[in-house]
Amino acid sequence: MGSVRWAFRFGSWSPSRSDWLLAARCIQREEKERIGQFVFAKDAKSAMAGRLLLRRFVCEKMGIPWAEIRLERSPRGKPYLASPLKVSSDAGPEPSAWSFNLSHQGEYAVLAAEQGLQVGVDIMKTTMPGSSSVPEFFRIMTRQFTAYEWSVIQSAASEQQQLAAFYRHWALKESFIKAIGTGLGFNLQRVEFHLAPEALTQGLVLNQTKMHLDEEEEEGWIFEESMLDEDHHVAVALGLTDKAGSATLGPSPPPPPPPPATFTLLSFSELIASATPLTEEDPAYWDSFQTKAQAPQRQRDAHTSKSPPPVSC
């Protein structure tokens, strides 16, 4: 069984004209158009990195020539491989089927893929809330976590550590939501995380954190947690799939835990190494990219590259 964990630091990527135009040629036309519509360069770069990570994975690990890869999205937005194989990110009935997922936030885009298990990944950067205080930010977010989770988050010694604990829990919840592919339609109070006793520090991959679903411990799921740097938390949810390839919920035996996998940081050259252009060069695409501001002013002021999570979620 295989595991892939890749990261690309788009936050420090300043693409040259030729890099950006090549990247744009190597993704599907509709994705190129979607990325072209982002107002901020940071968002365009993160989405571009995500598409390249996905295609590199399918090409190099699934052995499908770049030009034959056709990625589509589920009705809720989860990317899957539509052709040439009938194997998707919702996995397939074969035990060796690959499942994959993508996340981008802060400075990084990350891809996690696993054979035989359903995968969801989420990366969160620990940032101070933009306009409110930490207690006010937590108050707005009350409904996203259970009383037990809040007690853990708020027991951290400093506001910075409380925020780190908050984003760690957030990444865990999102990774699970992304593995099951439901997006916003899942009641987050149904899942409660009980953190691994060991401290999460850079260079470690923890897999002892447990999830409770409807107050029962879920043994069918494993959560790998790591830190790409001191303020980027990544959670990878790994779950058993049923015969139809969907993630299973409810009582099930624990999946055989894969060896904890660390993220490999790729350069742009590595990201694009196996790529084949799919479309003609489009010089106007660079002209448009060049006019984009890097990020919203308030993010640049705060020296961060992402906004806090949407308060309405």
Cβ count within 10 A of residue 69: 23
Q: Which of 50, 106, 116, 239 binds ligand COA (CB under 6 A)?
A: 50
Sequence-distant (6+) residues with CB within 8 A of 245 are 88, 90, 91, 92, 93, 97
Helices (H), 213-308: 268-272, 283-290, 297-301
In the list 3, 103, 115, 226, the residue contacting ligand COA (rule: CB under 6 A) is: 103
Nearer to ligand COA, 12 or 259 (CB): 12
Among 26, 41, 47, 111, binds ligand COA (CB under 6 A): 47
Q: Which of 183, 251, 254, 257 binds ligand COA (CB under 6 A)?
A: 183
Instruction: Select the residue interacting with ligand COA from 118, 144, 162, 209 (CB under 6 A).
Output: 144
Which long-range contacts does 189-193 make (Cβ < 8 Å, 24+ apart)? 189/143, 189/146, 190/214, 192/146, 192/148, 192/149, 193/149, 193/169, 193/223
- Return d(Cα 286, Cα 63) in angstroms, integer: 31
Side-chain-side CA neighbours of residue 232 (13 Å): 22
Question: How many residues of this chain interact with ligand COA, rule: CB under 6 A?
Answer: 23
Work out whether 7 is an interface residue with ligand COA (CB under 6 A): no
Q: Which of 25, 45, 56, 178 binds ligand COA (CB under 6 A)?
A: 178
Q: What is the number of the residue whose Cβ is closest to ligand COA?
A: 77
The two tokens of residue 295 are 């990020």
Q: Is 181 in the site for ligand COA (CB under 6 A)?
A: yes
Which one, 69 or 280, has the nearer CB to ligand COA? 69
Per rule CB under 6 A, is residue 107 in the interface with ligand COA? no
Stretch that binds ligand COA, among 77-85, 147-155, 253-261, 286-294 (CB under 6 A): 77-85
Query: Which DSSP category does 5 fall into?
Result: E
Please report how close the Cβ of residue 122 comes to ligand COA at its closest, in angstroms: 5
DSSP, collapsed to helix, strand or coil, labels residue 103 as: strand
Distance CA 22, CA 24 (A): 5
CB of residue 22 vs ligand COA: minimum separation in angstroms?
Answer: 19
Mention every residue, 6+ apart, whose C-beta is less than 8 A from residue 116.
1, 91, 95, 96, 97, 241
Q: How far apart are the C-alpha atoms of 63 and 220, rounded to whole Å? A: 29
Q: How far is the CB of 78 from ligand COA (least distance, A)?
A: 4
CA–CA separation, 308 and 288 (whole Å): 27
Segment interacting with ligand COA, rule: CB under 6 A, options 22-30, 173-181, 207-215, 249-257: 173-181
Q: Return the range that interacts with ligand COA (CB under 6 A); candidates 60-68, 183-191, 251-259, 293-301.
A: 183-191
Q: Which stretch binds ligand COA (CB under 6 A): 98-106, 193-201, 243-251, 267-275?
A: 98-106
Taking the least distance from each CB to ligand COA, the nearer of 116 and 309 is 309
* Residue number, 77 or 251, with CB nearest to ligand COA: 77
Strands 191-194 and 210-213: antiparallel
> Of 170, 193, 221, 268, which one interacts with ligand COA (CB under 6 A)?
170
Rounded (5°) CA angle 26-32-37: 155
- Please report, as ranges, the residues that interact with ligand COA according to CB under 6 A: 47, 50, 76-79, 101-105, 122, 144, 170, 173-174, 177-178, 181, 183-184, 188, 313
